[in-house]
């Protein structure tokens, strides 16, 4: 049995939760928050979708198996640490690239951001693997 109120609210809340999780991901780069908390918020959004609809529909909405999402996140996190090894520095040493955009200014992108993105993906993948496996039973 599906609830009309819950399914309608989920349609509006899912994009807001995901947008908020991305905000927390990027905010945590310089302040509290980051990949772990953002990943939990994103996983909560998909868990709400699974409760409101069903697990099959949520898996279809995800588009990727959560275990593969975890593996991708591990590759991104490890890759961000390996960059410093290729540059002759210790593993996980932060590396920064400054990009100049003429009308806007400068943008600094660093390996800690990619590490946070990797953690974000791992947390989403592991949390959804557990939640969706339990919900299927």
Angle at CA of residue 16, ends 107 and 3, nearest 5° = 165
* 3-state SS, residue 94: coil
Average pLDDT across the chain, whole number: 92
Can you read off the two tokens belonging to residue 3? 């609830």
Q: Which stretches of the chain score pLDDT less than 70?
A: 1, 29-30, 32
Could you tell me how many residues make up the chain?
Answer: 137
pLDDT tens for 38-70 read: 999 999 999 999 999 999 999 999 999 999 999
Helices then strands (H, E): number in the chain? 5, 2
CA distance 63 to 52: 18
């Amino acid at each position: 049995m599906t609830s009309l109120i819950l399914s309608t609210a989920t349609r509006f809340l899912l994009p807001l939760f995901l947008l908020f999780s991305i905000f927390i991901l990027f905010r945590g780069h310089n302040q509290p928050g980051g990949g772990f908390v953002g990943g939990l918020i994103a996983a909560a959004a998909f868990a709400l979708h699974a409760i409101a609809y069903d697990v099959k529909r949520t898996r279809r909405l995800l588009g990727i198996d959560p275990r593969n999402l975890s593996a991708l996140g591990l590759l991104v996190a490890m890759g961000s640490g390996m960059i410093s090894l290729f540059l002759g520095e210790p593993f996980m040493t932060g590396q920064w690239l400054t990009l100049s955009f003429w009308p806007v200014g400068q943008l600094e992108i660093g390996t800690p951001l990619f590490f946070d993105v990797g953690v974000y993906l791992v947390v989403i993948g592991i949390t959804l693997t557990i939640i969706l496996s339990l919900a299927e039973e």
